[in-house]
């Protein structure tokens, strides 16, 4: 037999499930192709943060200064970190969270993971799935939700979702709202989970709604998992009034990625110490140790306030401007078409609903990709929704993290293709 002949191995149930790929795998493949192999493709698809010169320079300066210290270099590159993550980073973050939340958060409340995606994999499968004779699920109180949740379960049907209310705001805007009356929390519910701001829509549920969800979860003795990848305290891409909320029943998941550091793969979990201890044990089995670079690079900037200042003075203004520019481009280019844009309250995306779209958004995604524009189809963002809802096939997610000239070219292509369809 030739050494170049492929082999057909027998896989376990785990292997069969995860080797098949998933929507997030396709997203990351498209992201990699667009950013590394096909630079001519207009990339308005994945969640890669923008390259903001002021931000990149700040991190470059910090890295250069720190790397001159041989002890820092050895600690960062040549030493395994403790399973829970860099202690200095956790101390500085605990101080920041204690100040913002006006309650005591300790380093024991904080654990580090190799990116928030791996943290969610552990959290979801530690809480939900098969538990003795019972199958437990994660309840998503509001969809659309993050594409990366959908296929991480070791068991199928890990998610149940609630169809949202749709509030029409004016001719071309709308907003999803939680249907509290439809929330079905029962013995099979392991946790509630939502992102704030929501990926993909930019929805920021109100402080009142968040408090209500937190109270409901606590009353049923299930945790509320809050995905803050785009939110508070950093990078604080909330463009409406929103306050941080955390209780001992909350599992808050943060990330350094949207600060401009996706390559460091640094996820952060803030929860009751017992939950952090359990997750740390699981994370050690899966990853052995966490990467050092993200926490080592950011701990001094976190301690002296430079990281939060960077969010306030550079990151947030950049995205607010890009959002304003993209909305003007879309409203001009799509004039005369039956479109609505979800009220953009945060994150780095615009979510467009094309009412009565003649083809599915998946087919529209393929057409746009052939024309040189990469977006994301809406079908992927409704994990756990059991009912057949036409709306799920009529939406697209667009990122506005690209340079303005790329956004202009992308919107022109989008309008051209959609007008042909109608």
d(CA 195, CA 198): 5
Q: What pLDDT does 314 receive? A: 98
Residue 22 has pLDDT above 60, yes or no: no
Coil, strand or helix: which one is 255? Answer: strand
Q: What pLDDT does 3 receive? A: 66
Give the C-alpha distances (Å, rounded to integers) separating 65 from 88, 269, 299, 301, 311. 18, 28, 13, 12, 21
Mean per-residue pLDDT for 28-43? 69
Q: What pLDDT does 47 receive? A: 86
Residue 252 has pLDDT above 80, yes or no: yes
> Residues of CATH 3.90.1150.10 domain(s) within the chain?
21-55+309-421
Q: What pLDDT does 262 receive? A: 96
Q: What pLDDT does 267 receive? A: 97
Q: What pLDDT does 27 receive? A: 59
Tokens 């604080």 correspond to: 236
d(CA 341, CA 349): 11
User: Model-level pTM?
Assistant: 0.93
pLDDT one-digit tens code per residue, 48-75: 999 999 999 999 999 999 999 999 999 9
Split at pLDDT 50, 70, 90, the class of 291 is very high
**Which fold would CATH assign to domain 83-165+173-307?**
3.40.640
Coil, strand or helix: which one is 138? Answer: strand
pLDDT one-digit tens code per residue, 313-353: 999 999 999 999 999 999 999 999 999 999 999 999 999 99
Q: What pLDDT does 25 receive? A: 64
* Cβ atoms of 145 and 195 closer than 8 Å: yes
Residue 215 has pLDDT above 90, yes or no: yes
Q: What pLDDT does 37 receive? A: 63
Q: What is the DSSP letter of 144?
A: S
d(CA 116, CA 131): 24
Within a 10 A sphere around the Cβ of 269, how many other Cβ atoms?
Answer: 26
pLDDT one-digit tens code per residue, 91-145: 999 999 999 999 999 999 999 999 999 999 999 999 999 888 889 999 999 999 9
Determine the straight-line distance between the first and last CA of the chain, rounded to whole angstroms.
56
CA angle 90–117–352, rounded 5-degree value: 120
d(CA 252, CA 245): 9
Q: Does domain 21-55+309-421 have CATH number 3.90.1150.10?
A: yes
Residue 34 has pLDDT above 80, yes or no: no
d(CA 326, CA 32): 24
Give the tokens for residue 277.
């201890």
Residue 28 has pLDDT above 70, yes or no: no
Tokens 């615009």 correspond to: 350
d(CA 120, CA 324): 32
Q: What pLDDT does 131 receive? A: 85
Split at pLDDT 50, 70, 90, the class of 36 is low
Name the nearest CA neighbour of 257 among 393, 101, 146, 410: 146
Split at pLDDT 50, 70, 90, the class of 32 is low
Q: How many residues does the chain have?
A: 422
> Residues of CATH 3.40.640.10 domain(s) within the chain?
83-165+173-307
Tokens 């950011």 correspond to: 298
């Amino acid at each position: 037999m030739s050494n170049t002949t492929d082999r057909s191995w027998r896989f376990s149930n785990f292997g069969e499930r995860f080797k098949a790929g998933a929507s997030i795998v396709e997203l990351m493949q498209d992201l990699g192709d667009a950013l590394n192999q096909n630079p001519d493709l207009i990339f308005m698809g994945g969640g890669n943060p923008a390259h903001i010169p002021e931000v990149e320079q700040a991190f470059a300066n910090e890295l250069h200064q720190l790397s001159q210290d041989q002890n820092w270099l050895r600690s960062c590159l040549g030493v395994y970190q403790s399973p829970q993550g860099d202690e200095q980073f956790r101390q500085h973050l605990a101080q920041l969270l204690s100040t913002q939340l006006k309650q005591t958060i300790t380093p024991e409340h904080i654990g580090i993971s190799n990116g928030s995606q791996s943290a969610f994999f552990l959290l979801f499968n530690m809480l939900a799935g098969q538990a003795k004779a019972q199958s437990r699920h994660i309840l998503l109180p509001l969809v659309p939700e993050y594409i990366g949740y959908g296929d991480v379960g070791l068991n199928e049907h890990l998610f149940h979702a609630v169809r949202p209310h749709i509030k029409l705001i004016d001719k071309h805007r709308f907003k999803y709202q939680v249907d509290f009356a439809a929330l079905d929390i029962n013995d099979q519910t392991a946790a509630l989970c939502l992102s704030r701001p929501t990926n993909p829509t930019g929805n920021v549920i109100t402080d009142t709604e968040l408090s209500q969800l937190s109270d409901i979860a606590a009353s049923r003795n299930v945790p509320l998992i809050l995905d803050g990848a785009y939110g508070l305290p950093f990078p604080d891409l909330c463009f409406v009034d929103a306050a941080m909320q955390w209780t001992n029943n909350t599992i808050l998941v943060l990330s350094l990625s949207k600060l401009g550091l996706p390559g460091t793969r640094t996820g952060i979990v803030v929860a009751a110490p017992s939950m952090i201890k359990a997750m740390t044990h699981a994370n050690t089995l899966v990853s052995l140790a966490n990467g050092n670079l993200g926490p080592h690079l950011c701990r001094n900037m976190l301690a002296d306030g430079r990281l939060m200042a960077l969010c306030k003075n550079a990151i947030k203004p950049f995205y607010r401007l890009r959002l304003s520019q993209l909305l003007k481009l879309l409203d001009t280019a799509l004039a005369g078409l039956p479109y609505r844009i979800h009220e953009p309250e945060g994150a780095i995306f615009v979510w467009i609903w094309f009412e009565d779209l003649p083809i599915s958004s998946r087919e529209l995604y393929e057409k746009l990709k052939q024309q040189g524009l990469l977006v994301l189809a809406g079908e992927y963002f409704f994990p756990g929704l059991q009912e057949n809802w036409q709306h799920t096939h009529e939406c697209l997610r667009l990122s506005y993290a690209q340079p303005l000239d790329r956004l202009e070219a992308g919107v022109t292509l989008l309008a051209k293709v959609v007008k042909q369809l109608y």
